[in-house]
Amino acid sequence: MKEFFELLKKFDLKGIFITPTKNGFLQFFRYVFVGGIATIVDWGVLFVLTDFAQIYHLISAIISFIAGLVVNFILSKLLVFKASKARVNAFMEFVSYAIIGVIGLGITELIMFLLTDKWTLHYMISKVIATIVVLAWNYIARKKIIYKKDIKENLNEEQIEENK
C-alpha cells in the first residue's frame, strides 16, 4: 500500500498502471481498474443488445459477459499480472480464465434470473449486484488458481523486506 501512495504522490501513472509489480495492493488496484473497464464493456453490450437489439436479457448477458471476459483477460495480462513468473502458456492461461469466467457467468445468470425474472428487478440492477458478487469470485479464483505461485513468491519477498 505504501508503494501505491508513493507512486500516487509523484503522480507516476506509469508506475501505477504499467511498470511490472509484485505488490499485492498495487495488483489489486490495477485489477479493479481493469475490471472497471471490462465492466463498462460488459454493461454497455448488455444494454445495447437488450434495449436496442431487443435480445432477451439472459442471452444478452451471456454475450456481454464474454466481451467483458476477453477485455479483462487481455488487460489483466498486460497490466495486472505482468510480473508473473509462472510458466503458463497463454492458451492454457486463457482456458483457466475461461473456466473461472464460465463459473462467474453461471453465478451472473442465476442472480439475474432470480432478481429479474422472479423478483422483477430491472435487469441492469440485477447485473450490478451480479457484478459485485462475480468480481470477488473472479479475483479470488484467479489469484488462487492461475497465479498461486506468484502469491507464494510475493509473501517470501515481503517477509525478506520486513526482515531487512
Lowest mean pLDDT among 32-36, 53-57, 127-131, 140-144: 140-144
Cα gap 25→129, rounded to integer Å = 24
For residues 89 and 136, the model is more confident at: 136
User: pLDDT tens for residues 61-99?
Assistant: 999 999 998 898 888 878 776 655 555 577 777 788 789
State the DSSP code for 80. Answer: I
Cα gap 109→97, rounded to integer Å = 18
Q: Where are the beta strands (DSSP E) in 48-139?
A: none
Q: Hey, where are the domains in the chain?
A: 31-159
- Which residues lie closer than 8 Å to 50 by C-beta, 6 or more apart? 56, 57, 60, 123
For residues 89 and 39, the model is more confident at: 39
Cα gap 91→112, rounded to integer Å = 30
In the prediction, which pLDDT does 151 show?
44
This prediction's pTM: 0.75
CB of 3 within 8 A of CB of 25? yes
For residues 29 and 131, the model is more confident at: 131
Residue 123 has pLDDT above 90, yes or no: yes
